[in-house]
Chain A
Amino acid sequence: MGRYTIRRLLQMIPVLIGTTFIIYAMVWALPGDPFSGKCGQRPCPPAYVAEMTAKFNLNDPLPVQYFKYLVNLLQGNFGESFSGRPVWDEIMQAFPVTFRLALIAIIFEIVIGISAGILAALNRGGFWDNLVLISTLIVISIPVFVIGFLAQFTFGIKLGWFPPTVGPNATVYELLLPAFVLASLSLAYVARLMRANLTENLRADYVRTATSKGLSRQRVIGRHAVRNSLIPVVTFIGADFGALLGGAIVTEGIFNIRGIGGLLYLSIRTREGATVVGVVTVLVLVFLLVNLLVDILYGAIDPRIRYE
């Protein structure tokens, strides 16, 4: 287990270098230079463009630029944005907010998604099953921004139960509504995944064996069937956590959450290479760690999968 973890951690180094280079090259390859749209309808003054080009090494060939960036990065220097703010500050302002949002969303997914899935599987063909199937179908078919605006309008403005936008401190209470919106789609998938797995496992040989062994129904379902059905669900949730961190742009926009998704979107639009690469680097790192955690969790759920 220990050796496995160390090997996985070491594997992260080439992955990190590879992804940062790809992202750097992609930002570099974007059409349109950063200063062509900055001054609106007229070109920016040549002195300004020259100064910024020199400051951000934009005239160097790509490998040189990337090498300079990497050297800075290894010293813990993420560079500066065009407005002169350290990129690290930008990331550290946005990341905790996004992390909290994603975490609450994941909790919604786990609690509501898994229970709905179990409920449906145990009542196959019954009322609860149909309710879960139909409601998840509806959620899956509605785009997230529609759900977002509807939730904001209904619960934020009309009923006033939740604040319609998230304030600077992004408290848990403020994040509840956006996190639910964010979770809604994956929640539906989790419920369906759980239902399908559990339904299948309930008919498996080992469940019949356990039942004929004289175990109580509760123990059969809880200890054997549900636990085995959780494996694909955990994989899904692990991958989804990574996706929620960087991909909550729409939800963040609707509820004015100052998160990673919005930062990334804005930086791409303004061609702020340093910020884009910085954010992505952190995201990749988190993604890799979450994946490792998920893989280790497998072993805990299913003793057959052990790493050595």
Chain B
Amino acid sequence: MRGLRKTAPVVIGASVIALTLAACGGSSDSGSGGSGGSDSYVTVNGSEPQSPLIPAQTQETGGGNVIDSMFTGLVTYNQETAAPENAVATAIESTDQQNWTITIRDDWTFQDGTPVTASSFVDAWNWAAYGPNAALNSYFFEPIEGFAEVQGEFDEEGNPVGKPKAKEMTGLKVVSDTEFTVKLSRPNSQFPVMVGYSGFAPMPEVFFEDPEAFGKNPVGNGPFQFESWDPKVSIKLKAWPDYPGAQKPSIAGVDFKIYQDLDAAWADLQAGNLDVLDTIPDSGLAGGQYKSVLGDRVVEQPAGIIQTISFPIYDKKFENVELRKAISMAIDRQTIINNVFNGTREVATGWVSPVVNGYKAGVCGEYCNFDAAKAKEMFDAAGGFDGKLTLAYNADGGHKGWVDATCVSISNALGVECVGKPTADFATFRTEVVNKEMTGMFRTGWQMDYPSIENFLVPLYKTGASANDGDWSNKKFDDLMDEASAKAGQEGIDLFQQGEAVLAEDMPVIPMWYGAVVAGYSDTVSNVQFTPFSRVNLLTIEKS
């Protein structure tokens, strides 16, 4: 559940010179030598992992790319629909959405030959949840019964108080090598979707013997196995020939080349030194340059990302619902997208991304449609606003452009002064947000962890939820979320959608737009697809 943290590439006008670039880059990585050599690997833009290569410790994209390719969990997600499909699991069943029985395949092994058993999952989850192991992804196990006991207690300053009471969660029980049960502390119909997140990956025995050594030389059970990690230079993975999954990769391996700056990766893609660039930087987007350079070697598709503007509901100035709605209506989203993002985003009409099951267009209704006259009318009826509006953002993330454009749109429509308010960097910005020190609107963004409508609602808007930055609280919404979590299938989805409709009534957060993948690739690779997580699909990509 990581927020958006894109680094800002430097925009530059020097790239307006139109160019038609054929394959003149002197590409040295094709055709040299037989199969298996690292020259035939697909090179993909990557970044330096911020943590050891352990699923429970990895959140950011750099390490996430590697972990995702190396581990296969209970389920994987369908390329087109993002629906979960059994991978290591053969069944994940429950009658009450609270007690789950999971059976797994008996023929799946890790890359070191040891079998993947029920204990591989249970031990891995217990390790991740155990407080002293300090796993970054521990909160994913919070729904499991007994989590609080293994996590331990903390005093007001955040220091641990003694040792946790237990080492293992009471909700996890191994029945046999191929079966285990999970008891959640409250019903959650989305549990089968959740377990596809890489934090839920099974871990081999070598991991528990020495987690630190494992983090530098991981052993997984996924389609690719670890080859080398040259810090800040590249991470190489080779295809695992014995991969038991249904779809095996056709490429020999993958080389994540680490760039500090997207512009450098973009230059390498144009020169034929890089195969896949998952994010084309602003300098390439400017004036649609990427299309003239790459032709049809471009992938554009929606991503599980939403950009929003939050109100500090704890500040009395923003109590009035009509005021919040008026501000939302005063924003001309499409024009901002066209001017700032070269039209590569899609206007948000609700709070849930189009890539997940349960997405409904137009939930926000008229309040997300730009209508200056109506907005002004509502604004005046709501009593206007004393002083000037501010919109805070972190200055290191490339947000200035759209923030300023949004403020101009609001000022023009409502006749109230609105200014962007930069904070030096993301760390400072988030400290202020978490400490509830915001005195005006502020930018928020969400990238899904698993493709479920629940992931776009519960962690963000439920009372006291971990990413509920504005401190919005609504009993009706909370009850609907609880009810929805207890119901399986379409029934549950319907209830989640009713919950989303509550957001439209109360407008605690303004939906702006859905994120999109805008990627490019070289002419030596084909069949390039991107997963719902905006990662290149290494199982389907082909290299000539």
- Determine whether B154 belongs to the interface, using a CB cutoff of 8 Å to chain A: yes
Interface residues of B in 1-41 (CB under 8 A from A): 1-5, 10, 12, 14-15, 17, 19, 21, 24-26
- Determine whether A246 belongs to the interface, using a CB cutoff of 8 Å to chain B: no
- Determine whether B479 belongs to the interface, using a CB cutoff of 8 Å to chain A: no
Q: Is the CB of B268 within 8 A of A85?
A: no
- Determine whether B464 belongs to the interface, using a CB cutoff of 8 Å to chain A: no
- Determine whether A53 belongs to the interface, using a CB cutoff of 8 Å to chain B: yes
- Determine whether A88 belongs to the interface, using a CB cutoff of 8 Å to chain B: no
Closest to B230 in A: A168
CB within 8 A of B12: which of A36, A40, A149? A149
Cα A83 to Cα B259 in complex, Å, equals 18
Q: Is the CB of B261 within 8 A of A41?
A: no
Q: Is the CB of A153 within 8 A of B14?
A: yes
- Determine whether B489 belongs to the interface, using a CB cutoff of 8 Å to chain A: no
Q: Is the CB of B431 within 8 A of A158?
A: no
- Determine whether B264 belongs to the interface, using a CB cutoff of 8 Å to chain A: yes
- Determine whether B49 belongs to the interface, using a CB cutoff of 8 Å to chain A: yes
Closest to A158 in B: B19
Contact of A254 with B158 at beta-carbon distance under 8 Å, contacts A36-B430, A39-B136, A41-B2 already known: no
Q: Is the CB of A37 within 8 A of B429?
A: yes
Interface flags, A182-220, vs B, CB<8A=1, else 0? 000000000000000000000000000000000000000
Cα A157 to Cα B21 in complex, Å, equals 9
Contact of A41 with B469 at beta-carbon distance under 8 Å, contacts A149-B14, A165-B264, A256-B264 already known: yes
- Determine whether A163 belongs to the interface, using a CB cutoff of 8 Å to chain B: yes
Closest to B260 in A: A262
Q: Is the CB of A146 within 8 A of B14?
A: yes
Among B52, B131, B446, B447, the most chain A Cβ lie within 10 Å of the Cβ of: B131
Q: Is the CB of A32 within 8 A of B429?
A: yes
Residues in B whose Cβ lies below 8 Å from that of A37 = 5, 425-427, 429-431
- Determine whether B234 belongs to the interface, using a CB cutoff of 8 Å to chain A: yes
Cα A83 to Cα B52 in complex, Å, equals 6
Interface residues of A in 236-286 (CB under 8 A from B): 252-256, 258, 262, 266, 269-271
Q: Is the CB of A32 within 8 A of B158?
A: no
Contact of A168 with B215 at beta-carbon distance under 8 Å, contacts A50-B159, A266-B260, A269-B396 already known: no
Q: Separation in Å of the A259 CB from the closest CB of chain B?
A: 10
CB within 8 A of A44: which of B136, B154, B234, B268? B136
CB within 8 A of B132: which of A32, A39, A44, A51? A51
- Determine whether A150 belongs to the interface, using a CB cutoff of 8 Å to chain B: yes
- Determine whether A31 belongs to the interface, using a CB cutoff of 8 Å to chain B: yes
- Determine whether B467 belongs to the interface, using a CB cutoff of 8 Å to chain A: yes
> Please, how many residues of chain A have a CB less than 8 angstroms from a CB on the other chain?
56
- Determine whether A125 belongs to the interface, using a CB cutoff of 8 Å to chain B: no
CB within 8 A of A33: which of B12, B25, B134, B431? B431
- Determine whether A63 belongs to the interface, using a CB cutoff of 8 Å to chain B: no
Q: Is the CB of A45 within 8 A of B444?
A: no
Q: Is the CB of B273 within 8 A of A52?
A: no
Q: Is the CB of A149 within 8 A of B2?
A: no
Residues in A whose Cβ lies below 8 Å from that of B215 = 84
Cα A51 to Cα B260 in complex, Å, equals 28
CB within 8 A of A157: which of B2, B261, B267, B444? B267
CB within 8 A of A165: which of B3, B26, B59, B273? B273
Interface residues of B in 404-432 (CB under 8 A from A): 424-432
Contact of A164 with B270 at beta-carbon distance under 8 Å, contacts A47-B131, A50-B160, A254-B263 already known: yes
Among A41, A152, A153, A270, the most chain B Cβ lie within 10 Å of the Cβ of: A41
- Determine whether B138 belongs to the interface, using a CB cutoff of 8 Å to chain A: yes
Residues in A whose Cβ lies below 8 Å from that of B154 = 46-47, 50
Residues in B whose Cβ lies below 8 Å from that of A269 = 396, 425-427
Q: Is the CB of B230 within 8 A of A160?
A: no
Q: Is the CB of B267 within 8 A of A152?
A: yes
Q: Is the CB of A149 within 8 A of B24?
A: no
Cα A43 to Cα B139 in complex, Å, equals 10
Q: Is the CB of B271 within 8 A of A156?
A: yes
Q: Separation in Å of the A43 CB from the closest CB of chain B?
A: 6
Cα A145 to Cα B11 in complex, Å, equals 10
Interface residues of B in 228-250 (CB under 8 A from A): 230-234
Contact of A42 with B431 at beta-carbon distance under 8 Å, contacts A52-B134, A256-B264, A269-B425 already known: no
- Determine whether A93 belongs to the interface, using a CB cutoff of 8 Å to chain B: yes
Contact of A32 with B263 at beta-carbon distance under 8 Å, contacts A146-B12, A149-B14, A168-B234 already known: no
Residues in A whose Cβ lies below 8 Å from that of B288 = none
Q: Separation in Å of the B179 CB from the closest CB of chain A?
A: 29
Closest to B151 in A: A47
- Determine whether A79 belongs to the interface, using a CB cutoff of 8 Å to chain B: no
Q: Is the CB of B3 within 8 A of A42?
A: yes
Q: Separation in Å of the A235 CB from the closest CB of chain B?
A: 32
Q: Is the CB of B273 within 8 A of A50?
A: no
Interface flags, A108-136, vs B, CB<8A=1, else 0? 00000000000000000000000000000
Cα A253 to Cα B261 in complex, Å, equals 6
- Determine whether A38 belongs to the interface, using a CB cutoff of 8 Å to chain B: yes
Residues in A whose Cβ lies below 8 Å from that of B343 = none
Q: Is the CB of B446 within 8 A of A41?
A: yes
- Determine whether B434 belongs to the interface, using a CB cutoff of 8 Å to chain A: yes
Q: Is the CB of A41 within 8 A of B270?
A: no
- Determine whether B505 belongs to the interface, using a CB cutoff of 8 Å to chain A: no
Residues in A whose Cβ lies below 8 Å from that of B396 = 269
Q: Separation in Å of the A275 CB from the closest CB of chain B?
A: 12
Closest to B138 in A: A45
Cα A149 to Cα B429 in complex, Å, equals 30
- Determine whether A99 belongs to the interface, using a CB cutoff of 8 Å to chain B: no
- Determine whether A28 belongs to the interface, using a CB cutoff of 8 Å to chain B: no
Cα A146 to Cα B14 in complex, Å, equals 7
Q: Is the CB of A42 within 8 A of B466?
A: yes
- Determine whether B90 belongs to the interface, using a CB cutoff of 8 Å to chain A: no
Cα A153 to Cα B446 in complex, Å, equals 35
- Determine whether A82 belongs to the interface, using a CB cutoff of 8 Å to chain B: yes
- Determine whether A173 belongs to the interface, using a CB cutoff of 8 Å to chain B: no
- Determine whether B362 belongs to the interface, using a CB cutoff of 8 Å to chain A: no
Q: Separation in Å of the A8 CB from the closest CB of chain B?
A: 35
Pairs A–B under 8 Å by Cβ, sample size 6: A37-B426, A37-B427, A40-B2, A51-B134, A160-B25, A256-B260
Contact surface of A with B, Cβ cutoff 8 Å: 30-34, 36-53, 59, 82-85, 89-90, 93, 145-146, 149-150, 152-153, 156-158, 160, 163-165, 168, 252-256, 258, 262, 266, 269-271
Extra inter-chain contacts (5) besides given A34-B427, A45-B138, A47-B138, CB under 8 Å: A48-B135, A50-B134, A160-B24, A165-B268, A254-B263
Contact surface of B with A, Cβ cutoff 8 Å: 1-5, 10, 12, 14-15, 17, 19, 21, 24-26, 48-52, 59, 131-136, 138-139, 151-152, 154, 157-160, 212, 215, 230-234, 259-261, 263-265, 267-268, 270-271, 273, 283, 396, 424-432, 434, 444-447, 459-460, 466-467, 469
Across the A-B interface, give the 10 residue pairs with the lowest CB-CB distance, nearest first.
Answer: A41-B3, A40-B2, A51-B134, A40-B3, A32-B428, A256-B264, A32-B427, A47-B131, A37-B427, A42-B467
